[in-house]
Amino acid sequence: MSDKLNRLKEIVGEVSDLGRAASVLGWDQQVNMPPMGGEARGQQLATLGKIAQEKFTADEVGTLLEDLKKEYTDPETDEGAMIRVAARNYDKAKRVPSSFIAEQAVAASKAFEAWVEAKSKSDFKIFLPFLEKNVELVKKYVSFFPPADHPYDVLLDDYEPGMKTAEVQEIFGNLRPKQVELIKAISEAKQVKDKFLHKKYNEEKLWKFSEKIIAKFGYDFNRGRQDKAPHPFQTSFSVNDVRITNRYEEKNPMATLFSAMHEAGHALYELGVNPAYERTSLESGTSLAIHESQSRMWENLVGRSLPFWEHFYPDLKKTFSSQLEDVKLKQFYKAINKVEPSLIRVNADEATYNLHIMLRLEIEIGMVDGSIRIKDLPEIWNTKMKEYLGITPPNDAQGVLQDIHWSYGSIGYFSTYALGNIVSAQLWEKIRKDIKNLDDLTRKGKFEKLREWLRANIHQYGHKYDPQDIVQKVTGSKIDSAAYVRYLTKKYSDIYDL
């Protein structure tokens, strides 16, 4: 039997190599590529994707998996988990015809262009027919799979394997009223001043400070690097080459620090996966939500906490003495945690962010099950914004047209952002039980215990456990928003004197 396993590993290994190579090309495209290089790069990426798909969906792989599934039945073993995950990926890959993938790519490309124009003119109608086409194709995609409880389940499963739409709806349903209530209370409290955060900060100094922080987190520059790119992201070329990107925003300079922490959180996950899983179906983090739980934990639960800045603020104040001259630690801490309902998701603060997500999830579900007509989107969007955040977008560009996702036909993963926040708080409660002196360590700038806890409990397993299972395994319960509500309430009660 081990011959068959070796053969499967060989094929999966080559498919992984092709995927990692594509990641290098994608990273280079964002970070280095000269302006004219795009067309050929697109062709090269298409070829790598096509060959990987051909190799992975070969009948031989199906036969091997069928045989191996019978042999390695225990999903707790590494082999059992590898085969389980590979078989699921194989099933998905086999169901979707390559002609459909090509059709979707063409539609996405046209829709993206329309979205750019629609957004620049703030006119949803320009985007409407293309979004309708994208949604139609998403429904077609769903039709390739066996009937689920809800058609949206099929889409969600690509990002959160094993999770059901109903589960997410329940989690969000519990959270939403509490979060709306909290924001209302905050809006009635005395507001936080943060003008000093929006002064001019030197880019190079910020960059170096960001690297000082993430080096303390344990991001190893022998196994990664931080580069400038239009958008911050993390990407892995192997367990020993996990890179992040970052940017400098003149109007929001602190974003350089928090983005570095966020992406380093993702990177620490990938750097912590068991090296024995390299070139197998288990080599990466298990889902977007679990990944986001890591990035949000380092960015928010660590990076926006008072103990963290008790350690770093003196150094920051020294580095930016003119900007922070009269700003006390507590003032700074409050400012970086300022809550303000706003129109744009990516600029949203910790307390309001999830509401942006819930709104999108509800609309996505409605689009997919047909209960929402696409042409009604602007109105629905604006109504929900008013209901959840108390504000109304003045136009489509700042409303329904703000996100790129739907333009390339990507429907199903907005919720993972909010689930990540929720999971991060669940893990955090467990961590605080296991590491009693966590705040003291943070005050000393020591993160090794936290990082090693995450590695031992989450990172090392890579893709071995599905998201709900790993949360259950670590915390004793499935994904649940109670811890997150406790965390938000405590934090903001203190900051806003509620």
Residues catalogued as catalytic: 263
**Out of 5, 7, 24, 216, the residue judged to bind its own copies by CB under 8 A:** 24
Does 303 bind its own copies (CB under 8 A)? Our answer is no
φ, ψ dihedrals at 179, nearest 5°: -70, -40
Based on CB atoms, which residue is closest to its own copies, 14 or 67? Answer: 14
Does 21 bind its own copies (CB under 8 A)? Our answer is yes
**Segment contacting its own copies (CB under 8 A): 236-244, 294-302, 362-370, 401-409?**
236-244
Minimal distance in Å, beta carbon 2 to its own copies?
A: 21
Q: Which residues pair with 268 in a beta bridge?
A: none
Does 40 bind its own copies (CB under 8 A)? Our answer is yes
Tokens representing 202 are: 């030197």
Does 28 bind its own copies (CB under 8 A)? Our answer is yes
**Out of 33, 93, 372, 441, the residue judged to bind its own copies by CB under 8 A:** 33
**Out of 123, 158, 167, 241, the residue judged to bind its own copies by CB under 8 A:** 241
Minimal distance in Å, beta carbon 86 to its own copies?
A: 17
**Out of 73, 98, 240, 383, the residue judged to bind its own copies by CB under 8 A:** 240
Whether the Cβ atoms of residue 295 and residue 262 lie closer than 8 Å to each other: yes
Minimal distance in Å, beta carbon 297 to its own copies?
A: 24
Does 476 bind its own copies (CB under 8 A)? Our answer is no
Minimal distance in Å, beta carbon 248 to its own copies?
A: 20
Compute, in degrees rounded to 10, the torsion defined by CA atoms 440, 259, 238, 39.
Answer: 180
**Out of 4, 5, 17, 107, the residue judged to bind its own copies by CB under 8 A:** 17
With CB under 8 A, what is the number of residues at the site for its own copies? 40
Whether the Cβ atoms of residue 107 and residue 382 lie closer than 8 Å to each other: no
- In the numeric block, the tokens 């949000």 are attached to 296
**Segment contacting its own copies (CB under 8 A): 20-28, 179-187, 314-322, 362-370?**
20-28
Give the span between the Cα atoms of 365 and 48, in whole angstroms: 33
Does 105 bind its own copies (CB under 8 A)? Our answer is no
Does 5 bind its own copies (CB under 8 A)? Our answer is no
Whether the Cβ atoms of residue 313 and residue 332 lie closer than 8 Å to each other: yes
Based on CB atoms, which residue is closest to its own copies, 15 or 359? Answer: 15
Does 7 bind its own copies (CB under 8 A)? Our answer is no
**Out of 2, 6, 36, 149, the residue judged to bind its own copies by CB under 8 A:** 36
Does 224 bind its own copies (CB under 8 A)? Our answer is yes
**Binding to its own copies (CB under 8 A): which residues in 243-262?**
243
Give the span between the Cα atoms of 69 and 84, in whole angstroms: 7
Based on CB atoms, which residue is closest to its own copies, 120 or 240? Answer: 240
**Segment contacting its own copies (CB under 8 A): 43-51, 118-126, 310-318, 457-465?**
43-51
**Out of 2, 6, 99, 222, the residue judged to bind its own copies by CB under 8 A:** 222
- The three-class DSSP label of residue 498 is coil
Quick one: which of 71, 98, 97, 96 has its CA closest to 84? Answer: 71
Does 221 bind its own copies (CB under 8 A)? Our answer is yes
Does 228 bind its own copies (CB under 8 A)? Our answer is no
Minimal distance in Å, beta carbon 51 to its own copies?
A: 6
Quick one: which of 487, 373, 416 has its CA closest to 266? Answer: 416
Does 493 bind its own copies (CB under 8 A)? Our answer is no
Q: Note the residues at the interface with its own copies (CB under 8 A).
A: 13-14, 17-18, 20-22, 24-25, 28, 32-37, 39-41, 43-44, 47-48, 50-51, 220-225, 227, 237-241, 243, 278-279
